[in-house]
C-alpha cells in the first residue's frame, strides 16, 4: 500500500509551523509569565533548598489542578515513581506489571525498588495498556495464593500495576482499575506526560495515586522535578515523611525513624513550577490547537495519520504523534533522516523495553503490537509556542 512521501510530510509540517526558525526542536519550554520574578525572589530571600514558601504553594496548586487532595513535589518523576512503589508495598523480588512501550524510567523505577518489570501489551487507540489483553494474560500466567497474585512460571508475587498515559493520551483507567481489584494489585498511574488530560470528564490524577514529571520537555517544567498526587491523607503523610529522609519533626534534633530518601524538590524549582502552573490552561489550549492543525494537515495523507485522543478522553497532546498504518522495515528511519535534514528534529517512540539487553530476561506477554507500533511512530514538533498562533 502507498504511503505519503517524506516530502509530503515535510510540507504538511511546514503548513502548520509556518516560518518558525529552523532548526525546530521536538519540544521546548516556554517562560512567559512570572518565572524570573519568582526564582529571583528565592535568591534574594535565600530560600533555595527544599524548604520554602514556593514548595508549599506548588504542592497546594498542583493538587488542585489535578483534582487531588494532596501532592508531594520531588526531584524528578523517576524518584516519585520509585517512592510510590516502595510505599505502596512493592518489595524486592516482586514483579510489577508495566508496558514495554514506555520511557525507560518506568521500568527503572521498578528496578530501583528491587523488583522485576513484567511487560504487557498495549492498544493502538491510546498506546496505553490493553485491559482485555492484560486480563487474559493474568488468567494464563497467575494464580491467587494467600491473597496475592503469583506468577506460575517464576513463583514471584505480582505486586503492582503501572499503566502509562503515553504522550498525554489517557489509557482505559476504569477497566485497568477493575483488573487490579480482581488480582489485588497496587495501582499507580504513570501520568508523567499527562498533566491536564481528562478521562470521562475526570482529571488524570484525581482518582488514583499518580506520578507526574516536570522535566524540561514536559508541558509544565520546573527544570527537573516530579510529583506524587493522592486522595489518601495517611498515604500523603507517609510519602512526605519518607521522601524527606524520614526525619522526625524537631526544632534541632536529627532523629530519623526509617530509611528514607532525600527526594524533595528545592524551592527554586518549585518557584518555576508555580509560575508555569499559572499558565497551564493557556498551554493546554495551545497544545490542543496545534494538534488540531496537524490533524487537518495530515487528514488526507495516504497510509499515515495523526493519533487522536481516545474516545471519552481529552488529551493534552503533549507530543503530537504521526502513525503509519502499516509497519515497514525502513520507513521510520528513512523519514526521520529526511526530517532532520530539513532541520525538523522529530523523534521516534522509545525502543520497546523488552528488546533492551538490560530487560530482555524479564517476564512478558506477546508484544507483537508493541513491536509494530515502535516502527510506525514519529513524534512531530509539539512545543507550546507553536500552538499559540492558533489560540
Return the pLDDT at 365.
98
Give the integer Cα–Cα distance in Å for 232 and 236. Answer: 6
* pLDDT in the model for residue 298: 98
Average pLDDT over residues 219-228: 96
Furthest CA-CA distance within the chain: 71
Domain definitions of the chain by residue range: 6-30+280-390, 35-277
- Is the pLDDT at 1 greater than 60, yes or no? no
Q: Is 140 exposed, middle or buried (0-12, 13-18, 19+ CB in 10 A)?
A: exposed
Q: Which three cell numbers stand for residue 56?
A: 508549599
Residue 7 scores a pLDDT above 80? yes
- Cell numbers at 205, concatenated: 490524577
Q: Taking CA 290 as the corner, what is the angle to CA 384 and CA 126, rounded to the nearest 5 degrees?
A: 100
Asked if pLDDT for residue 333 goes beyond 60, the answer is: yes
Q: Is the pLDDT of residue 329 over 90?
A: no
Distance from C-alpha of 157 to C-alpha of 159, rounded to nearest angstrom: 6
Q: What would the pLDDT profile of 111-159 be if each residue is shown by its tens digit?
A: 999 999 999 999 999 999 999 999 999 999 999 999 999 999 999 999 9
pTM of the model as a whole: 0.96
Report pLDDT digits (tens) over 84-108: 999 999 999 999 999 999 999 999 9
One CATH from 3.40.640.10, 3.40.50.720, 3.40.50.300, 3.30.70.580 for 35-277: 3.40.640.10
Phi, psi for residue 326 in degrees, rounded to 5: -135, 150
Specify the pairing of strand 116-120 against strand 95-99: parallel
The strand pair at 116-120 and 313-314 is best described as unpaired
Residue-wise pLDDT tens digits, 231-266: 999 999 999 999 999 999 999 999 999 999 999 999
For residue range 23-35, what is the model confidence (pLDDT) as tens digits?
Answer: 999 999 999 999 9
Write down the architecture of domain 6-30+280-390 according to CATH.
Alpha-Beta Complex (3.90)
pLDDT band at 50 (very low <50, low <70, confident <90, very high): confident
Concatenated DSSP letters for 150-181? Answer: EETTT--EEEEE--B-GGG----HHHHHHHHH
Listed residue (314, 328, 319, 361) closest to 201, CA to CA: 314
Amino acid at each position: 500500500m502507498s504511503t505519503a512521501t517524506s516530502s509530503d510530510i515535510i510540507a504538511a509540517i511546514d503548513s502548520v509551523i509556518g516560518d518558525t526558525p529552523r532548526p525546530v526542536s521536538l519540544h521546548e519550554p516556554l517562560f512567559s509569565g512570572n518565572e524570573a520574578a519568582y526564582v529571583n525572589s528565592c535568591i534574594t530571600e535565600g530560600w533555595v533548598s527544599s524548604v520554602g514558601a514556593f514548595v508549599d504553594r506548588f504542592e497546594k496548586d498542583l493538587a488542585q489542578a489535578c483534582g487531588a487532595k494532596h501532592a508531594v513535589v520531588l526531584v524528578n518523576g523517576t524518584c516519585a515513581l520509585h517512592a510510590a512503589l516502595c510505599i505502596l508495598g512493592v518489595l524486592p523480588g516482586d514483579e510489577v506489571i508495566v508496558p514495554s512501550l514506555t520511557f525507560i524510567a518506568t521500568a527503572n523505577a521498578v528496578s530501583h525498588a528491587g523488583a522485576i518489570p513484567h511487560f504487557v501489551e498495549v492498544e493502538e487507540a491510546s498506546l496505553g495498556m490493553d485491559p482485555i489483553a492484560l486480563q487474559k494474560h493474568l488468567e494464563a500466567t497467575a494464580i491467587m495464593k494467600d491473597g496475592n497474585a503469583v506468577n506460575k512460571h517464576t513463583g514471584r508475587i505480582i505486586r503492582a500495576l503501572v499503566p502509562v498515559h503515553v504522550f498525554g493520551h489517557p489509557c482505559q483507567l476504569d477497566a485497568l482499575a477493575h483488573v487490579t481489584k480482581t488480582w489485588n494489585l497496587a495501582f499507580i498511574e504513570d501520568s508523567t506526560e499527562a498533566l491536564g488530560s481528562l478521562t470521562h470528564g475526570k482529571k488524570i490524577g484525581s482518582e488514583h495515586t499518580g506520578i507526574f514529571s516536570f522535566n524540561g520537555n514536559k508541558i509544565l517544567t520546573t527544570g527537573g522535578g516530579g510529583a506524587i498526587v493522592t486522595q489518601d491523607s495517611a498515604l500523603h503523610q507517609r510519602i512526605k515523611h519518607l521522601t524527606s529522609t524520614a526525619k522526625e519533626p524537631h526544632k534541632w534534633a536529627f532523629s530519623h525513624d526509617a530509611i528514607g530518601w532525600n527526594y524533595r524538590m528545592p524551592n527554586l524549582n518549585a518557584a518555576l513550577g508555580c509560575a508555569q502552573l499559572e499558565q497551564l490552561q493557556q498551554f493546554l489550549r495551545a497544545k490542543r490547537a496545534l494538534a488540531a492543525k496537524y490533524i487537518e494537515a495530515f487528514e488526507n495523507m495516504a497510509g499515515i495519520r495523526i493519533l487522536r485522543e481516545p474516545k471519552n478522553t481529552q488529551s493534552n497532546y503533549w507530543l503530537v504523534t504521526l502513525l503509519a498504518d502499516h509497519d515497514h522495515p525502513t520507513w521510520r528511519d528513512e523519514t526521520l533522516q529526511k526530517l532532520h535534514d530539513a532541520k525538523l528534529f522529530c523523534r521516534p517512540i522509545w525502543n520497546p523495553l523488552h528488546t533492551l539487553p538490560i530487560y530482555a530476561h524479564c517476564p512478558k506477554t506477546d508484544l507483537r503490537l508493541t513491536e509494530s507500533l515502535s516502527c510506525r511512530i514519529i513524534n512531530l514538533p509539539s512545543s507550546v509556542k507553536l500552538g499559540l498562533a492558533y489560540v
